[in-house]
Amino acid sequence: MVIPSRTECIELQRQFNMPENIRRHSLLVAEVALRLAAGLNNNSSRLDLQLIEAGALLHDVGKMSGLRSGEDHAALGAKMLDGIVDPAVVRIVGEHISLDSSQVNGAVTESLVVNYSDKRVRHDEVVSIEERYRDLIQRYAKAPQQAQLLLEKLDLYLALERTIFSHLPIMPKGSEIMGITIDGIEKA
C-alpha cells in the first residue's frame, strides 16, 4: 500500500463525509506539521513529509462518527482507514490524541509532529498550546478530575514542544507558526 497524495487524502475526506470545518482544521494541521517537519529535516532529522501530510489530512477522519457513537475518534479513524492506506498513516491517525512521558524526550517522529500540530490548531486557527488547552478545559472538563487530567496532558505537550523546538531556529509562538492561516493554503 502507498501513502496517499494530498489530492487522494482530500478525496478520502469526501468519501468519509468529513464536514468542511474538520477538513479546514485538518488542512491547517497538515500545514503546521509540514512546516515543522521541514525545519526539523533541515537540522538532520529524516522525517517523511508525505507521510506527515497524509497523517495530518486524515487524522480526524473518524471525528464525526466518534462524536455520534461516543467512541474514541482516533481508534475509529484508524479502523476506517485500515486496509485503504499505508499502515504508517493508519498508525498516525490512531495515535494522534495520545501522548505519554516516554515519547516526550525521545526521537521526534512523524506521529509526534502530527499529534503536536493538531494541538496547535483550534478549529481553523493556529494558537499556542496553552490557549488550546484552556479551550479544551472550558469545553470538555465537566468535573475537577477531568480538568486535572487535561492540565497533566498540557504539561506533556509543553515538554514535547520544548523537545521539538530545541531542534528548530524558530520559537513556538513565532510568526513562522502562528502566522500560518487557512486562507494561505492551496487546497488541491
Please give the mean pLDDT across all residues of the chain. Answer: 94
What are 86's three cell numbers?
Answer: 499505508
pLDDT tens, 57-75?
999 999 988 788 888 999 9
**Helix axis angle, 49-58 to 87-95, nearest 10°:** 50
Distance CA 115, CA 154 (A): 13
- CA-to-CA distance for 60 and 32, rounded, in angstroms? 15
pLDDT at 187: 46
Q: What is the pLDDT of residues 154-185, one digit of tens each?
A: 999 999 999 999 999 999 999 999 999 988 67
Low-confidence ranges of the chain (pLDDT < 50): 187-188
CATH 1.10.10 fits 6-183, yes or no: no
DSSP summary character for residue 32: H
pTM of the model: 0.94
